[in-house]
Amino acid sequence: MLKNSLHLAVLAVFSSYTMSVFADDASVLSPVPETVLDTIVIQGSATKMNTSLLDSKQKGSDLLIKKDTLKTRATTLGDALDGELGIHSNQFGGGASSPIIRGQEGKRITILQNNADVIDMAHLSPDHAVMVDTTLAKQIEMVRGVSTLLYKSGNSAGAVNVIDNKIPSQLPKKPIESEVGIRYNTGNDEKLETGSLTAQLGKHMVFHAEGLHKDANNYQTPNYGYMDFDTGDELDNYVKAPELLQALEKEWQAIQKGVRLPFSERTYFITDEAGYLKQKASLDKDLAAAKTYNFDYLPESWAKSKAGSVGLSWVGDKGYIGVAVSERKDKYGLPAHNHLYEGCSVISIFDSFRYRPYLQKYPQLIDESDVNYINPRPDCEHAHGNSESHGIQDKHDHAPPFIDLVTKRYDLRGEWQNPTSWISKVRGNVGYVDYQHDEKEGNIVSTSFKNKGKVARLELTHEPTERLKMLWGLQYLQQDNSAESPVTQWRNQQVLTKNDLTNQSIFAMGKYDFDKLSVELGTRLEKQKVAMDFDKDYIENRMRQSSWLKGEKLENAITYALDATKPNEKTAHSYALGLNYQFLPDYTLSLNVSHQERLPNSQELYTHGMHLATNSFEIGNRHLQKEKSNNYELTLAYQGDKLDYKVSGYLYDFDNYIYLQSINEYLGTARIQHVRQLRINRYDQSPAKFYGAEVSIGYQFSPIYYASIFGDYVKGRLHDMPDIVVDYKPAGWFDPEVKTYGKQEDRYTPRLPPMRLGAKVQADFDEKWSGSLEFVHTFDQERVSKFEGITKGNNLLNMGIDYKNFLGNADYSIFFKANNLLDEKVYAHETFLPYIPQMGRNFSLGINVKF
């Protein structure tokens, strides 16, 4: 609209000028009547936000990143959004990253593709890529407030919507439009090619095809030091050696002084120097077992991607309907994979098999009393001792791990405007996704993740009055997913057994505009069922054949076991209020208040298996209740002729916040004392609070230069956590066993993003040249959770230059970006890999051409 208005203005001025010239020349011959032109008003419309259905304008807490910017950013979603106010990246090497928004990640952030659910396995682990293509997108939107309830509950931090043109929604401006782009990055030798083609076929049909190809090597980083061990036993001995050396030295000094230590203070019971030297040599050997490597790159951070889609639409005056088929293939390395526990099982539950023998096959059915808080530990005997039962261990020699991913998606989407006098718009979509990725070690599949899903959505909007807009909708989601490992005689615990998740939702939203105040109300009702694939006949037969119970006790135990296999069915009801008040011409005050309920997914309920990419063994909790939160956000925005600013503050108050509790924390022989030791985690719940602030201030110093300063801060704490076993005395001849429960101290939430402050200068030198210079200081993160260390801050200096021009019928743009110019060693506390440095100094050069 703005471009057309400018064209009209230019034509009007040009016409006025030529007519006046002709009038001057012709006045000698004859009088010319005076011509009065109509006033032409030049105005630009606000950027359209597809995610906010009742109001297309961008609001104070919303974010929109356009296509030209996305072309210069990373290909993974988290890295593409990283650095925006309140957003960090949960990066995992070079192949996967997901956004962390205001301290929330994964299950508490809704990721959409053209307003539809993205079906993948990214929520299961940070090393799983999000299945959206940012460099092929038209724009990325993030909305907060009432609009988030149109898509899912429990996403108060925001909903991220990736908008693309896979299904064309309007006729192209030219019969054939195409675009190609290439770029290269020095930091990882990334070579990226993208292309798209849109063609009008006849009067109403539009065809679209697009694709990308990416090939990147391990990324360069300043001085990466890495410690490794050959076996888990070597790691355990290394961790214990300093304390044991201290005890040995104490005994030796006592011998030298002629002092006899009490029996309780002696560990080695040495009697002479020969005994001391022998034990010291053994402990020194344990300390020397650590192998230290130094690299100037991050091993296994390479990534390769291919993506493509074709779509066909019918576009009319009142809407469109179209289909698209998409396919994506990814291969990328896993830099944090811990080979020390390959092939190992985990002793995480008590020996309840005599009374409930089915737990050996279905440990997902455990109760709280079955959790082994006393001595949870990895069991690597079969992996490293018994050669007859090595399973996959025999077939490879610690080959570098990587992910091999393939996903196919089929979409039908349409929109019908003003179908009746009382309906302003009907919009809907239907999709089917077939997703699979294998985690491989060499040519051996260690775990295969599968997810087949169906989505459907229907929205209806109408405007009863000029001031009132309303929306009603239905949504359906069904997924068959699993994460299974090759089953061997000794290893029968799957990461996630095959299960079926069904979620049905209804939602509504209304918006009423007063003169200066707009009020939004929204609600969402979700009903979810998670059904695991249990063999009930097996459970009953095992109980009758092997249980020590008899008679009525046996029948009650069988009934209890079968009841435990019933699907997990829950309902969530969320509602929200939004106020936007323009109390002065340039000032807007926004308030968002919501109560949101999130239902636990299949992973949180039923996972039970090893996931070495995150160095953990995860245990689900089928007794989890729905997560509830009361959320508050206040934003003040000012937009003047030169000065603008925005200040936001928020509070997320959770009840039953779901998190991972490390059960090998207090007791046992495998307590976590080193970053490489396996964490045995179980899902648990407690209250939690997050609060934070975001500030940005900008000033237009001249028609060329615009400068801004910005910063964000978030703090999150778990509180009133459930009591846990902190001491244990086994049963004696006359005394029963004693478990001592202790209160857990409040703690910071894991991977809390650090505070940031930054400044940026942007310059539009003319219609062709523009540039930017940005400096961001990330503070030390000293607010750490259990098993976390303080993460050192960093200074990032980035620069960019853009050039735009046209040649014949082609518009082209060239960009150059210099990132981390100071070559700082950057550690990201908010990731699962805070001890691995991010990419060092790197330069990116690219060109995009539109025909």
Q: What is the pLDDT of residues 690-711, one digit of tens each?
A: 999 999 999 999 999 999 999 9
Domain architecture of the chain: domains with CATH: 1-45 (no CATH), 230-289 (no CATH), 319-850 (2.40.170.20)
Give 477's contacts (C-beta < 8 A, 6+ positions apart).
117, 453, 454, 455, 501, 502, 503, 504, 505
Q: What is the length of the chain?
A: 851
What is the C-alpha to C-alpha distance for residues 222 and 218, in angstroms, rounded to an integer?
Answer: 13
Cα 133 versus chain centre, distance: 14
Q: Does pLDDT of 721 surpass 80?
A: yes
Cα 218 from Cα 188, distance rounded (Å): 6
Phi-psi region of 158 (alpha: psi -120 to 50; beta: other; left: phi over 0): left
Confidence of residue 730 (pLDDT cuts 50, 70, 90): confident
Name which of 125, 124, 127, 163 is nearest 143 in CA terms: 163
Numbers of helices and strands, H then E, in the chain:
9, 38
Residue 274 pLDDT > 70, yes or no? Answer: yes
- Confidence band (pLDDT; 50, 70, 90) for 843? very high
Q: pLDDT of 587-614, one tens digit each?
A: 999 999 999 999 999 999 999 988 888 8
Check residue 49 and give its pLDDT: 83
Comparing 57-66, 401-410, 465-474, the range with the smallest average pLDDT is 57-66
Whole-angstrom Cα distance, residue 458 to residue 425?
A: 11
Nearest C-alpha neighbor of 371 from the set 761, 29, 683? 683
Q: Calculate the alpha carbon distances from 188 to 74, 220, 302 in Å.
A: 12, 6, 8
Predicted structure pTM score: 0.88
DSSP H helices in 57-167: 67-70, 77-81
Asked if 51 contacts 161 with a C-beta cutoff of 8 angstroms, the reply is yes
Residue 91: half-sphere exposure toward Cβ, Cα within 13 Å: 26
Taking the C-alpha atoms of residue 364 and residue 433, their distance in angstroms, rounded to an integer, is 27
CA angle 104, 106, 107 (to 5 degrees): 95
pLDDT in the model for residue 48: 74
**H/E element, 297:** strand 291-297
Where would I find the H helices in 698-776? none
Tens digit of pLDDT for each residue in 611-642?
A: 888 889 999 999 999 999 999 999 999 999 99
What letter does residue 281 receive in the DSSP assignment?
H
Quick one: pLDDT at residue 492? 47
DSSP 30: S
pLDDT class of 785 with cuts at 50, 70, 90: very high
- Do β-strands 190-201 and 176-185 pair in parallel, antiparallel, or remain unpaired? antiparallel
Residue 400 has pLDDT above 80, yes or no: yes
State whether the Cα torsion 335-341-346-347 is positive or negative: negative
> E strands, 492-559, where?
496-513, 517-532
Strands (E), 421-567: 423-441, 444-462, 468-484, 496-513, 517-532
Cα distances from 455 to residues 412, 479, 601, in angstroms, run 10, 9, 16
CA 449 to mean position of chain CA atoms: 17
How does residue 488 score in pLDDT terms, banded at 50, 70 and 90? Answer: very low
SS3 at position 285: helix
Share of the chain above pLDDT 90, in %: 66
Give Cα 246 to chain centroid, integer Å: 44
- Count the Cβ atoms, other than its own, within 10 Å of residue 711: 18
Measured distance CA(442)–CA(444) in Å, rounded: 6
| Tokens 């057994």, residue located | 497
- Measured CA to CA, the distance from residue 239 to residue 757 in angstroms comes to 38
Instruction: Kindly tell me if the per-residue pLDDT of 416 is higher than 60.
Output: yes
Instruction: Report how far apart, in Å, the C-alpha atoms of 787 and of each of 100, 520, 677, 751 are.
Output: 20, 43, 11, 11
Distance CA 815, CA 793 (A): 29
CB count within 10 Å of CB 647 equals: 15
**Spatial separation of the C-alpha atoms in residues 770 and 69, rounded to whole Å:** 13
By CB neighbour count within 10 A (0-12 exposed, 13-18 middle, 19+ buried), where does 24 fall?
A: exposed
Closest CA to 623 of 373, 367, 352: 367
Q: Does the pLDDT value for residue 490 go beyond 50?
A: no
The percent of the chain in helix, strand and coil, each rounded to the nearest 5, is: 20, 45, 35
**Do strands 319-333 and 87-92 pair parallel, antiparallel, or not at all (unpaired)?**
unpaired
> Tokens representing 288?
């020397």
3-state secondary structure (DSSP) of residue 496: strand
In the numeric block, the tokens 């636990």 are attached to 600
In angstroms, the CA 299 to CA 219 distance is: 8
Residue in the structure block whose two tokens are 């996931």? 611
Question: Which residues, in sequence order, are CB contacts of 60 under 8 Å at separation 6+?
Answer: 580, 588, 590, 635, 636, 637, 646, 648
Structure tokens that stand for 742 in this block: 């202790």
User: Per residue in 660-695, pLDDT tens?
Assistant: 999 888 888 888 888 888 999 999 999 999 999 999
